[in-house]
């Protein structure tokens, strides 16, 4: 475990040395502040459009950071020729994979804390309310989704040739799931066989990342808390997918040449 945390620590330090997070955070803040300064019929208490925009930007920024940070982990080690020395130490391939995953996931969590604190401050400036538990539920599930994305990207970095192609493919997969994942079963029902079965197979096979993504509507429109049992079940569901992707990554890495 000590080795895993050591690798994770290096990944986290790398995040705050790079400019990705700072650029995206400042961009999000600027866009939200500009949109917040728009005069809408001289009413200063309108806030929901701002909350929706801010949450959308947070999701886009966090996905960009998660995918781009993870996609270059293993290829960067290979390019800098640090992979062999790493594996020559008492660090197994599985520990390396788990260390990279944990580092990227914790880094995403730190990023999310910054973003959601800004979101809370922005919402409170007009709403004059702090539904902290609601924000915690949204941020927690968002972090769990990023865990699945990080695991998927890590697997992709071992399968695809370059970080750019890995990033692009992962972005496309994640964006597609977020936008249409909920409706694939409705699309399947409207088809004839064998397309119905194929689409249904995809529907049940993919991780339904859109479930926490659509929680944004509950935050924007001030709906009550979701039951904690549902939060727990969704966490287990997502972590199962993350575990499956990590196991697949370990199996692929075990048979991959590192030189």
State the residues that interact with another protein by CB under 8 A: 38, 40-43, 45-49, 182-183, 185-187, 189, 203-204, 208, 210-212, 214-215, 217-218, 220-224, 226-227, 230, 233-234
Rounded to the nearest whole angstrom, what is the least distance from the CB of residue 64 to another protein in the complex? 23
Pick 84 or 198: Cβ nearer another protein: 198
Residue among 98, 127, 111 nearest 68 (CA): 111
Q: In whole angstroms, how close is the CB of 208 to another protein at the nearest point?
A: 6
For another protein, the closer of residues 1 and 40 by Cβ is 40
- In Å, how far from its chain's centre is CA 204? 20
Residue written as tokens 């996931």? Answer: 105
Alpha-carbon Rg for the chain, nearest whole angstrom, is: 20
Backbone angles phi, psi at 37, to 5 degrees: -85, -5
With respect to another protein, which residue has the nearer C-beta, 130 or 204?
204
Name the minimum Å distance from CB 218 to another protein.
7
Report the residue number, 79 or 214, with the smaller CB distance to another protein. Answer: 214
Q: CA of 219: how far to CAs of 33, 48, 224, in Å?
A: 19, 9, 9
Neighbours of 105 (CB within 10 A): 24
Smallest gap, in angstroms, from Cβ of residue 256 to another protein?
A: 34
CB-wise, 229 or 259, nearer to another protein?
Answer: 229
- CA angle, corner 15, sides to 53 and 32, nearest 5? 15
35: nearest Cα among 114, 130, 126:
126
**CB of 10 or CB of 233, closer to another protein:** 233
To the nearest whole angstrom, how small is the minimum distance from the Cβ of residue 14 to another protein?
A: 33
- At closest approach, how far in Å is the CB of 198 from another protein? 16
Tell me if residue 233 falls in helix, strand or coil: helix
Q: Is the dihedral of CA 115, 116, 117, 119 positive or negative?
A: positive
């Amino acid at each position: 475990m000590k080795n895993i945390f050591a690798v994770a620590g290096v990944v986290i330090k790398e995040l705050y040395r790079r400019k990705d997070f700072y650029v995206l955070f400042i961009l999000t803040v600027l866009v939200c502040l500009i949109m917040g300064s728009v005069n809408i019929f001289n009413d200063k208490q309108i806030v929901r459009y701002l909350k929706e925009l801010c949450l959308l930007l947070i999701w886009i920024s966090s996905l960009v950071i998660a995918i781009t940070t993870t996609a270059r982990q293993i290829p960067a080690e290979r390019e800098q020729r640090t992979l062999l020395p790493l594996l020559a130490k008492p660090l197994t391939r599985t520990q390396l994979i788990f260390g990279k995953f944990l580092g990227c996931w914790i880094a995403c969590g730190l990023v999310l804390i910054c973003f959601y604190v800004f979101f809370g401050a922005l919402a409170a400036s007009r709403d004059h309310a702090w539904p902290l538990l609601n924000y915690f539920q949204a941020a927690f599930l968002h972090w769990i989704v990023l865990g699945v994305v990080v695991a998927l990207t890590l697997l992709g970095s071992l399968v695809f040739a370059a970080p750019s192609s890995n990033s692009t493919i992962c972005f496309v997969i994640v964006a597609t799931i977020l936008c249409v994942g909920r409706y694939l079963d409705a699309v399947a029902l409207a088809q004839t066989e064998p397309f119905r079965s194929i689409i249904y197979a995809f529907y049940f096979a993919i991780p339904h990342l859109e479930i926490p993504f659509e929680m944004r509507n509950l935050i924007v429109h001030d709906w009550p808390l979701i039951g904690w049992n549902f939060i727990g079940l969704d966490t287990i569901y997502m972590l199962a997918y993350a575990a499956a992707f990590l196991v697949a990554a370990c199996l692929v890495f075990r048979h991959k040449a590192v030189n």
